[in-house]
A and B are shown apart, each in its own frame.
Chain A
Amino acid sequence: MTVAIRATDLVKSYSQGVRALDGVTLEVNSGEVLVVMGPSGSGKSTLIRTFNGLETLDGGALDVLGVSLDATHGERQVLAIRKRVGMVFQQFNLFPHLSILDNITLAPIKVQQRAKASAEQRAMELLDQMGIREQAYKYPAQLSGGQQQRVAIARALALDPEVMLFDEPTSALDPERVKEVLDAMRQLAKGGMTMVVVTHELSFAREVADRVMFMDRGQVVETSDPETFFSNAREERSRRFLNQMQH
């Protein structure tokens, strides 16, 4: 089994001396789904944002798909990694001035230099896969939140990434829209995509995750398979968190 992401003792602190990451060590295997949970401010976003160079590190070693992204990495490594790692944000972050189709084809055309026709064909396939083919010529503001988030997933997939990062992809959605996005992610996981997912959706984690990692105050508290984590978590802090979540 090959390792997609290997992080050793990651340290990141912001200006006020807060340690957002305080010695995080983890491995994500190819084809694996890792769900990251933890209370607000525990460093979940900071962690997955280091995986594609959106945050720089202050210490530790980070290897993503064979490229080193540690404290000394350069602009070239970051660009190389971003073409191979897709990311989906909580707030979708679609480009409001571009149609859905143009949102998805922008990077394939401008970054991968693909021909417009083939990029559009691939975009339509992805929209089909997400169940929103008929929205292709609309603009983001004309879509519901759930539809926008599925466009965002399609946009990330259009670069044929080897790893997908999700930062609370359903937290900004109405409850009745959450399922359509989670279903799309389930399908992706079934297809063997390597995924790191920050989420508070317990049922998704239980069903889809290969492993669940629990973080608190910038540290990894425990990493377990979902069954152990949800029924019989090793650490007291994890159990307290789960208790709060279920009420």
Chain B
Amino acid sequence: MNRWLDRGITLLLLALLGWAGWSMLHWLLLGADWSVVTTNLPLYAVGSFPADQRWRPLLWMAALITLTLLTLVGPKHGWLRRWLPLFWIVMAPLGLWFLAGGLGLLPVGTRSWGGLTLTLLLTGGSGALALPLGILLALGRRSDLPVLRWSSAAYIELMRAVPLIAVLFFGQLLIPLFLPPGLEINRVLRALVAFALFAAAYIAEDVRGGLQAIPPTQREAAAVLGLSPRQSLQLVVLPQALRVALPSLTNQAVGLLQNTSLMAILGLVELLGISRSLLANPAFIGRYLEVYLWLAAVYWLACTAMALLARHLEVQLDPARSAS
């Protein structure tokens, strides 16, 4: 009796899947019109960056892709491997310089920044800012100084209680108030900073979890060898804590990338912003499915690359990996 029910359910599910697959294929082959994507590839890549300066964002993204490939499948030893961390660290400032110009490059206003370049820059830049800030907050939360401990805890709890979109709006309005008059920072930088301030609270909690996982005897062993509390933290406790926190930090990084799409609401034309503006164009009216499928594929690719990089880092930092 039960077997017949099982078979019935299986058949029904297969039929549903087949029908969905067939309609999808039918639409892809006959209904879809990919011109909205193919004719706008430059927009998706670099936004409305001046045509004669497009090499700058393109070069930066090419460097990013090269670096990713080198890290994942490049040579396992040698000088290149040793310099990789440094290359990664300079990527965010380099991207900012390439887009903004100055120092010998033609300045380009933030209104012309956009597309995948902007998405990646927002992710990388806010991540690079949020990680050290998050570590400091986590350390502050465990500090012996009550003032430091309370203010860190208050900051973390406040940020985690407020939705990201609210933080982003506040960032646009409030950050200029904290700056000395005359000094103005652009919209993208404001968004990036607000984003980092938000992400830091979550990173702090992940790092705190990592710190808690390190037994106090490690600190003791370091102290007994004459290491100062600061050396003990830097050389013994933090490296281990970050290793423990790495899987959750990866989650944060992927979340960061996806949340950059909220910036579209602030009028930044990153991937989602570009898509929305294209859909508003009469020439591409109604091409929602194509645009969002394409968008999903691009995000998926970027997230997968990040997950692979994180996995690679985890293996690299595994203390029990076979010595070589």
Contacts and interface: CB of A to CB of B under 8 A. Distances in A.
Contacts, number: 65
Interface string B298-324: 000000000000000000010111010
A140 interface: yes
Contacts of A30: none
B225 A93 contact: no
Contact of B220 (A93, A98, A111, A141): A93
Interface in B214-242: 217-218, 220-228, 231, 235-236, 239-240
Nearest to A152: B221
A69 to B, nearest CB: 14
Most chain B CB inside 10 Å of its own CB: which residue of A52, A106, A138: A106
B236 A107 contact: no
Most chain B CB inside 10 Å of its own CB: which residue of A98, A99, A137: A98
Given A89-B217, A96-B240, A97-B243, A107 B227 contact: yes
A82 B240 contact: no
Interface string B239-252: 11001000000000
A99 B225 contact: no
Interface in B226-284: 226-228, 231, 235-236, 239-240, 243
B319 A82 contact: no
A119 interface: no
Contacts of B236: 95
A202 interface: no
Given A54-B223, A111-B225, A139 B323 contact: yes
A95 B323 contact: no
B256 to A, nearest CB: 26
Given A89-B217, A93-B217, A95-B218, A106 B320 contact: no
A99 B321 CA distance: 11
A91 interface: yes
B227 A111 contact: yes
B320 A79 contact: no
Contacts of A140: 319
A155 B228 CA distance: 17
Interface in A80-119: 82-83, 86-87, 89, 91, 93-99, 106-107, 110-111
Contacts of A110: 227, 231, 235
Contacts of B321: 139
A87 B224 contact: yes
Most chain A CB inside 10 Å of its own CB: which residue of B235, B239, B317, B321: B235
B223 A97 contact: no
A142 interface: yes
A9 B224 CA distance: 24
Given A141-B320, A142-B323, A97 B217 contact: no
Contact of A97 (B221, B231, B239): B239
A137 B224 CA distance: 23
A52 B225 contact: no
A136 to B, nearest CB: 9
Interface in B162-179: none
A113 to B, nearest CB: 11
Interface of A: 52, 54, 79, 82-83, 86-87, 89, 91, 93-99, 106-107, 110-111, 137-142, 155-156, 159
